[in-house]
Amino acid sequence: MYWKCDGKWKTVNGRKLYHNKNPILHLPLILHSEFFILHSSHYTIFMNIIHYASLFVILFTLYGIAVGSYPAFRMNRATIALVGAAVLIFIGAIPLEKAYDAVDLNTILLLFSMMIINGNLRISGFFKLVTAKIIALAHSPKQLLALIIFSSGILSAFFLNDTIVIIFTPLVIEVTLSLKRNPIPYLIGLVTAANIGSSATIIGNPQNMIIGVSSGIHFAKYALYQTPPSLICLFIAWIVIVLIYKKEFGGSHFAKIELEKVRPYKPLLIKSIVASTLMIIAFFAGVSIPLAAFGGAALLLITRRLKPQRVFNEIDWSLLVFFSALFIVTKSIDTAGFGKYLALTLQPFLTQSTASFAVSSAVLSNIVSNVPAVLLFRPVIPALQNPEQAWMLLGMAATFAGNLTLIGSVANLIVAESAKKYFINLSFVEYLKAGVLITILSLTVGVIWFSFISLPAV
């Protein structure tokens, strides 16, 4: 096809092309002519500009996600990822059709469904009821810390670590202040345990959901291999905090803890427990994880008592936007031509040893945050010799790494921000006292576990 404009026809290298003196009218030729695609130096320069612009946008987006916000523009992680994805589509780093395909709808559906289920459990009073009954069993500071750690860790494995710390934090603060105790070590115990416990299952945290959907590992198998190191590390977290805060955990005992009576909404409580139980049974029975969660969520939306809007208010829409946009941003690494360089960079660390894999995962998780780190590893892992073992190791390391610093995971930030409302300052340095040691010991346990318990290659 030729475009006839104000100029002359020319034959170059045996090809008939139309030459136009007006550079503006060259655009159709630049976009559609095979000659310009293959031979034009202007096109090469243009593509180089797009190439480096794409790299800048990707790095700028990942940096923004890592630091959490660009305050000057009032941008949080969700808006940073969304704007980054939009710019990458606009400049051609990733075509719109591939951007649609990049969004993993299975992961989005799973996350959305779990938010509906957790929202119903929260509205019904389930979490407050369970938490209050568990904490009321404590008769000493050490017992209180142990109950907080193991209850938050186990609940996080099934109901998302972020949800658990949102519910637990006010109650832990209320109890510790009423007992005239220092709330800081208990809050550190709460959040480190929630992170550790969430690594035990595919539905424990967002990055595990990505791993579960991407790997196709059976829910029961994932839990079987991840639960033992998680339980060991919960005990390690308790020991570390008790040793660091010796003064707080002396031999003193206290009277029975009196808590405000929780009045659950029984009809919704029963229905939520039934739906959650059926969902978990479906997980272990081998039903598709997104489908099982979606079924449980749909069951809870059939109600005559609860307005749908109240449940939808419990959904973290910004997190769903963040995930969708982040899928596009990480996919553009491949479509923009950087995927092979990323694979070559990561592969030596992933194939050298179990320890090297775990450390590189933990380091990257603390640089760009754990969810982006998992998405960066996602295209590389299927090419490894034992991808199933690699997925398991990544789930452990990326999650345990969230305990390193106060900004290592969203759950950490939730606890710190919630504590501020009660004029309690969980500072970055204060958190490091226990966070660093817990992370190092947890990763060590995880590496030893997966070094000796090797999964068969599939």
Mean pLDDT, the chain, as a whole number?
84
Share of the chain above pLDDT 70, in %: 87
For the cut 50, the answer to whether the pLDDT of residue 4 exceeds it is no
Q: Which helix (H) or strand (E) holds 159?
A: helix 141-159
Given pLDDT bands bounded at 50, 70 and 90, which one contains residue 441? Answer: very high
Q: Amino acid identity of 272?
A: S
pLDDT over 70 at 22, yes or no: no
Output 278 or 65, whichever has higher pLDDT.
Answer: 278
pLDDT digits over 396-409, tens only?
Answer: 999 999 999 887 88
Distance CA 67, CA 131 (A): 32
- Return the pLDDT at 197: 96
Average pLDDT on 45-70 reads: 82
Domain boundary assignment for the chain: 1-39, 126-263+337-452
Tokens of 16: 């008939």
For 163-190, what is the mean pLDDT? 90
pLDDT in tens, 305-331: 778 888 889 888 988 999 899 999 988
Tens of pLDDT, residue by residue over 73-106, are: 888 888 999 999 999 999 888 999 999 998 989 9
Distance, CA of 404 to CA of 409 (rounded, Å): 9
Specify the residue for token string 């494995």.
157
- Which of 32-41, 142-151, 158-167, 252-261 has the highest average model confidence (pLDDT)? 142-151
394, pLDDT greater than 50: yes
pLDDT of residue 83: 95
Q: How confident is the model at residue 23, as a pLDDT?
A: 46
Q: What is the pLDDT of residue 367?
A: 80
Torsions phi, psi for 297 (to 5 deg)? -65, -45
3-class secondary structure per residue, 109-120: HHHHHHHHHHHH
If pLDDT is split at 50, 70 and 90, which confidence band does 25 have?
very low
Q: How confident is the model at residue 41 (pLDDT cuts 50, 70, 90)?
A: low
Q: Residue 42: its pLDDT value, please? A: 61
380 has a pLDDT exceeding 50: yes
pLDDT at 6 over 70: no
Beta partners for residue 18, in sequence order? 9
Burial code of 346-383, b = ≥16 C-beta within 10 A, e = fewer?
Answer: beebbeeebeebbbbbbebbbebbbbbbbbbbbbbbee
Distance CA 297, CA 241 (A): 37
Q: Write the pLDDT tens digit of every residue in 231-258.
A: 999 999 999 999 999 988 876 777 667 7
For tokens 């299927």, name the residue.
Answer: 382
With cut-offs at 50, 70 and 90, classify the pLDDT of residue 66.
confident
At 458 the pLDDT is 43
Q: Give the residue among 422, 402, 78 at the shortest CA–CA distance from 208.
A: 402
Give me the pLDDT at residue 74, please. Answer: 87
- Return the pLDDT at 30: 45
Q: What is the pTM of this model?
A: 0.79
Question: Counting beta carbons within 10 angstroms of the beta carbon of residue 182, is it exposed (0 to 12), middle (13 to 18) or buried (19 or more)?
Answer: middle
What is d(CA 426, CA 405) in angstroms, rounded to the nearest whole number? Answer: 12
pLDDT surpasses 50 at 36: no
Rounding to the nearest 10 degrees, give the CA dihedral for residues 155, 165, 79, 65.
-90
Alpha-carbon span 327 to 99, nearest angstrom: 8
Residue 455: predicted pLDDT: 60
| 230 neighbors 154 (Cβ within 8 angstroms) | no
Q: 446: pLDDT confidence band, cut at 50, 70 and 90?
A: very high
* Across 428-434, average pLDDT: 91
